[in-house]
Amino acid sequence: MLEQHAIASQVQLVEMLESEGVMATQATVSRDLEELGAVKVRMPGGHTAYAIPELPKDQISPEDHLQRVLGEWAVEINYSINIVVLRTPPGSAHVVGSALDRTGLEGVIGTVAGDDTVMVIVAETTSTASLADHLRDLAGLNQTRDAEVAGFDQDRNSDQVEN
């Protein structure tokens, strides 16, 4: 959005995100703009707008940034052969894909982001299952799965006691 529109304020950005179906608070937008390195620049006519300086190809973001992004936006992570598939709310896949690209995780060749799905292409020398599990850990999805499995086992055990 920052590349396509002259966005003058965080409130304007929150409203634009809402119009695309992405709910965000001003505090979240402020933090995201800071992490992206967005700066206000003077536009023709004297107005100011947010812009993101081009990042050097080799600039790496810390893994805690990826953890925060996955924790906020990843809702499901699965894998097949050499592809990890991440599901996000509509309109959010590009945020996750960009964070994955900028983190430089070992074994990640690249990402392709759609509207609500990110495909992560995994190198042949990397375990796709391990990478998917690591991303689930970062997103906090393994704790949810562990709780669901524990609940299933508990339900199963209580059924056996009743029988």
CATH of residue 135: 3.30.1360.40
Give the residue from 25, 22, 1 showing the smallest Cα distance to 91: 22
Please give the average per-residue pLDDT across 40-65, as a whole number: 72
Higher per-residue pLDDT: 40 or 78: 78
Residue 126 domain flag: yes
Residue 4 domain flag: no
Residue 132: pLDDT band with limits 50, 70, 90: very high
Q: Which domain holds residue 45?
A: 10-51
Residues 47 and 68 in one domain: no
Residue 2 domain flag: no
Whether residue 44 has pLDDT greater than 80: no
Residues 23 and 93 in one domain: no
Residue 136 domain flag: yes
For 111-145, letters b (16+ CB in 10 Å) and e give bebeebebbbebeeebebeebbbbbbebbebeeee
Residue 121: pLDDT band with limits 50, 70, 90: very high
Residues 118 and 157 in one domain: yes
Whether residue 149 has pLDDT greater than 90: no
What integer pLDDT is reported at residue 60 of this predicted model? 63
Higher per-residue pLDDT: 147 or 77: 77
Residues 26 and 74 in one domain: no
Residues 106 and 155 in one domain: yes
Which 3 state secondary structure label does DSSP give 49?
Answer: strand
What integer pLDDT is reported at residue 55 of this predicted model? 52
Whether residue 154 has pLDDT greater than 80: no
The domain total for the chain is 2
Residues 15 and 76 in one domain: no
Higher per-residue pLDDT: 19 or 63: 19
Report d(CA 57, CA 22) in Å as an integer: 28
What integer pLDDT is reported at residue 92 of this predicted model? 85
Report d(CA 91, CA 110) in Å as an integer: 19
Residue 56 domain flag: no
Residues 150 and 82 in one domain: yes
What integer pLDDT is reported at residue 50 of this predicted model? 84
Residues 21 and 70 in one domain: no
What integer pLDDT is reported at residue 54 of this predicted model? 62
Q: How far is CA 141 from CA 24, 34, 65, 147, 151, in A?
A: 21, 26, 16, 10, 15
CATH of the domain at 16: 1.10.10.10
Residue 100 domain flag: yes
What integer pLDDT is reported at residue 85 of this predicted model? 98
Residues 41 and 74 in one domain: no
Whether residue 119 has pLDDT greater than 80: yes
Residue 36: pLDDT band with limits 50, 70, 90: confident
